[in-house]
Amino acid sequence: MVAIKLDPLPLWTKMKGPNVTNNNTAVLEGCSNLVEDNVVGDNNGEGNRSCPAQSKGESYPCLEKRYIYENNTTQGLPNHLSLIGLTGCDNNDDLHYDASASLKINSRSGQSEVMNAVEKLCLLVNSFPSKRPTGRVIAVIERSPRRECIIGHLNVKQWVFFRDTNKKDARKNKNLVSENEYIHLRPIDPKFPNIILLVRELPESIAKRLKSGDGAIEMDLVAAQIDDWFEESPFPEGHILHIFGRGSEIQPQLDAILFQNAICTSEFSPEALSCLPHVPWELPLKELQNRTDLRNLCIFTIDPSTATDLDDALSIEKLPNGNYRVGIHITDASYFVLPDTALDREAKFRSTSVYMLQKKLPMLPALISENIGSLNPGVDRLAFSMLLDLNVDGDVVDRWIGRTVIQSCCKLSYEHAQDIIDRDFDLESSTFHEDDYPKVHGHFDWSDVITSLKSLYEISKVLKYKRFTGGALRLDNPKIVILFDENGIPYDSTFSEQKESNFLIEEYMLLANTTAAEVICKAYPDVALLRRHPEPNMQKLRECTAFCQKHGLNLDTSSSGHIHRSLEKIKKTLKDDPVLYDIFISYATRPMQLASYFCSGDFKDNEHEWGHYALAVPLYTHFTSPLRRYPDIVVHRTLLATIEAEEIYLKQVGKEVGAKKRCFTGTNFDKKAAESVEGMEALSAAALKHRVPSAETLAVIAAHCNERKRASRNVKDACERLYIWFLLKQQKVILSEARILGLGPKFMSIYIQKLAVERRIYYDEVDGLTAEWLEATSTLVLSISPNKRASRRGGANKWRSLSDSVLLACPYDLKVTTDNSKQNDAMEVDAIVSNMDKQHISQSAIEPAFFPLTVHLLSTIPVALHAVGGDDGPLDFGVRLYMSSYFV
């Protein structure tokens, strides 16, 4: 956390270009949305919040924000403004913290003055969209958590130079190693400076390798911690925490990703495991007596084919009045994870399961998450069920919520469910083969499952239509799926496809989560754990609108519903160009902020901040995945307290209100009953029994769960990038088509369809390449000039070689060549890539373009992708034009 003092408006820098993306833009529209990463210059990421060595503790980072200002105004606008903010765990370039904790300032004295100052700043920024605010750091208030773990490579060459230039001093002091001898750590994150590591403080294993002249140590990934940064030093000082191994290998990279994000990789503690029931486990008779028995219902699960933690199941019944009773059954993890036990503390600390494409780090031990707590077919299981009566319009006209005993009759995959949705089954026909589908258990058969699934599907379509007509927004970004062989080695990538079976499950899970939020928030308005999604970053939303307008398309950003409807119209307009639609979706996603958990008591005076922007609902929480999310367990306990309070209250005043009335969990909440003396006593007693956290404790839990959620997402994204990089490394060259998003005299911005990402290709000052930029028509012409070589600032040796920007293929036999400015210097691909690459290129459907190349905005061009970094820097991939020419 730092204090900054903004410069006067005339000193603010001008933003370049019409579509510059600014990750540090403060926007406050009507003071309803504050993006903290704009106000403070902290380099916080999203995962490395605590050192893994501290994983046994239970301390959580405080995300409270505070703002202090000095304000000298001119004509009502700030001339100088100092702001102090604690960025906590919020920033990472394209991710924006949603400020749930920031609004705690509402309870502070002087809050209105603070918001006034911030509002004035934001109004000023919005008044001059072409200006970028500038300022200077005047104090470091609190050190950034990111300094706790920085991953990088040792700069052995720098150390050798330092040692050689200080030999005389070493001999003079009769020491082989100077006391001040140091080596640099080069962080893989370019936002960090080099870190000075004193050689005398290096781990013994590294010191020995350095002294023995082992240069390979430079290829190892190392984690370091910053200790201090003295004013007179250009670099901070630190010490090494851990050595992972070669940066070009998968396992060291995975270890570094987990370490950097403080992911707990250790086994569950003996204390936590002692809380588990003995196996073999059987359904306790007491639970069967105290719960509602729903084993007579046709209940089944729908999950990915590889899923082992089955935490939700569905059922449906047709009622005599024409309505449908939909059952949403969630595993009762709170039965096994009791409050204030060692297992509860460990689940709270882990907060979420972490998915790494080929591996899962579970929040709960496998005995619960994959066995007795998983809704596996053919066995009795404890569940938390919602029975929702829906009419033909998708309205919930009645509901029952409670603990149940269920037995799933079938485990369907999404593929099985989709097949049932798509087909008209004749179970007596010879075309139906039960062997192609999973076993149906109990007294049910396939006709029961198929009938139920089709009914659930029809109702889900009504729910979906109702949601989107009500203003919901969905942004379906292309999602890369890495394909692995039997040895776990990636061999290709594709895009995941969301099918109707996915949407079916999504609709019922959203309905259950919304219902849970409504119930707990009304019963416990000060201690409900909810989930909010703030409005988009308005500056980036305007940039997205401008991008659409530039290409002749209209994007109405006045609400989430209008954005969705606009995108649907754009999709129809671009039905013959799905790649361009994906590009627009990518741009529309950028302004969106992250959703986060919060304690309702923290926003008591700002209920308009509780809503979920994308879902367009006033209340939302997480209830449906207690095996992999700790907040769901907290919500389960709060729901249990609400149910128990209802029972206590009805026992006390049942004669007056009617024993069957559901005053706290039904569709009509009885506020008068809840505020009565009997009601308040019942709610208080139930909260105490089920350990509903206090507002202060819940705020800390919410902040910790937010931070762990972001860390888990960081790990998943980093693992995807790692495996894509490894795939490129294995195949050497991968060809793809790309669309040009931006053009200029020096470089082009492109969208690569194969990976659904953007990159740049530079063509200015490239040896043997001439770029002619026709600004009047926004046209670029690239030509081969074998003898081109001109002077450049810094010397001719600074020119890029042609192979940095272009992968050349010989038009005669499509052998790939590279050029060093002279025709007789052309080399066949054997010197650059392997036979595997030539085979891959020859088998590819991507054809090279020919020089001279003339392109405009949105032109499609072929590109070649290759892996960059690993042993000598951060993982990335390079992109070059894939071209052919007769003149090389």
Higher pLDDT, 887 or 808: 808
Residues 6+ apart with CB under 8 A from 570: 548, 553, 555, 581, 584
pLDDT over 90 percentage in the chain: 61
> What is residue 578's predicted lDDT score, i.e. its pLDDT?
92
The pLDDT value recorded for residue 210 is 87
Which tokens hold the place of 13? 């820098």
- pLDDT, average across residues 804-833: 52
Residue 188 three-state SS:
coil
Chain segment 286-329, per-residue pLDDT in tens: 999 999 999 999 999 999 999 999 999 999 999 999 999 999 99
Reported as a pLDDT band with limits 50, 70 and 90, residue 176 is very low
Q: Is the pLDDT of residue 663 over 60?
A: yes
- Write out the H or E segment, with its range, that includes residue 74: strand 69-74
Q: Kindly give the residue spans of alpha helices, DSSP state H, lying in 606-657.
A: 630-657
Per DSSP, the three-state class of 182 is: strand
CB 758 within 8 A of CB 741: yes
pLDDT of amino acid 172: 55
CA 403, CA 864: separation in Å to the nearest integer?
A: 57
Contact, 179 vs 166, CB < 8 A?
no
pLDDT greater than 80 at residue 852: yes
Find where tokens 């991507």 sit: 846
The first and second tokens of residue 220, run together, are: 């190892």
pLDDT surpassing 70 at residue 656? no
Q: What is the pLDDT of residues 213-261, one digit of tens each?
A: 888 899 999 999 999 888 888 899 999 999 999 999 999 999 999 999 9
Res. 606 pLDDT band, cuts 50 70 90: confident
Tokens, residue 492: 């290709």
Mean pLDDT of 438-463: 95
Given this model, what pLDDT does residue 844 score? 61
Closest CA to 557 of 587, 533, 536: 536
Residue 598 pLDDT level (bands cut at 50, 70, 90): very high
Q: Which of 132-136, 190-194, 816-820, 843-847 is predicted least confidently?
A: 816-820
- Over the stretch 484-512, which tens digit does the pLDDT of each residue have? 998 888 989 999 888 999 999 999 999 99
| Angle at CA of residue 318, ends 317 and 321, nearest 5° | 135
Please report, for residues 329, 391, 392, 427, 716, the alpha-carbon distance to residue 318 in angstroms, rounded to integers and kept in the order given. Answer: 17, 11, 12, 22, 41
Say how far apart CA 224 and CA 242 lie, in whole Å: 7
pLDDT at 846: 87
The pLDDT score that the predictor gives to residue 264 is 95
**What is the per-residue pLDDT across 72-113, written as a single tens digit (0 to 9) for each?**
333 333 333 334 333 333 333 333 323 333 333 344 444 555
CA–CA separation, 863 and 778 (whole Å): 21
The pLDDT value recorded for residue 404 is 98
Is 442:409 a contact under the CB 8 Å cutoff? yes
Least Cα distance to 728 among 614, 875, 550, 873 occurs for: 875
Q: Residue 513: is its pLDDT beyond 90? A: yes
pLDDT at 82: 39
Closest C-alpha to 842, from 822, 862, 815, 868: 815
Looking at 444-486, list the stretches that DSSP marks H as alpha helix, in order from N- to C-terminal side.
Answer: 446-469
* Greater model confidence, 552 or 332: 332
What per-residue confidence (pLDDT) applies to 222?
A: 95
pLDDT at residue 203 in the model: 93
Separation of first and last alpha carbons in the chain? 56
d(Cα 570, Cα 550) in Å, to the nearest integer? 14
Structure tokens at 756: 């659904």
Give the strand pairing for 292-293 and 396-413: parallel
Mapped onto helix, strand or coil, the DSSP state of residue 134 is: coil
- Tokens read off for 562: 């209008």
User: For residue 50, what pLDDT band results from cuts at 50, 70 and 90?
Assistant: very low
What average pLDDT is seen over the chain? 83
Identify the pLDDT of residue 819.
Answer: 37
SS3 781: strand
pLDDT in tens, 544-566: 999 999 889 999 999 999 999 99
C-alpha gyration radius of the chain: 30
Do 257 and 719 form a contact (C-beta atoms < 8 A)? yes
What pLDDT shows up at residue 488?
Answer: 86
Q: Is the pLDDT of residue 45 over 70?
A: no
Q: How many helices (H) and strands (E) does the chain have?
A: 22, 35
Average pLDDT (40-44) is 39
- Residue 764 vs residues 751, 771, 785, 885, 888: alpha-carbon distances, Å: 20, 7, 13, 19, 20
What pLDDT is recorded for position 768?
87
Query: Rounded to 5 degrees, what are φ and ψ at 433?
Result: -120, 115
Task: Return the top range by mean pLDDT from 660-669, 833-842, 846-855.
Answer: 846-855
Residues 721 and 617: beta-carbon distance below 8 Å:
no
- The residues, any chain, with a CB within 8 Å of residue 35's CB and separated by 6 or more, are 25, 26, 27, 96, 97, 99, 537, 593
Cα separation, 488 vs 359, in Å, equals 11
Identify the pLDDT of residue 53: 36
Percent of the chain beyond pLDDT 70?
79
* Strand positions, DSSP E, 356-506: 360-361, 380-390, 396-413, 480-484, 490-495
Q: Is residue 408's pLDDT more than 80? A: yes
Query: What is the average pLDDT across 419-431?
Result: 73
pLDDT tens track for 130-142: 788 888 888 878 7
Cis amide linkage into residue 280, ω under 30° from 0? yes
Biggest CA pair distance of the chain? 101
Q: Within 13 Å and on the Cβ side, how many CA atoms surround 330? A: 30
Q: What is the pLDDT of residue 497?
A: 86
Stretch 691-716: mean pLDDT: 96
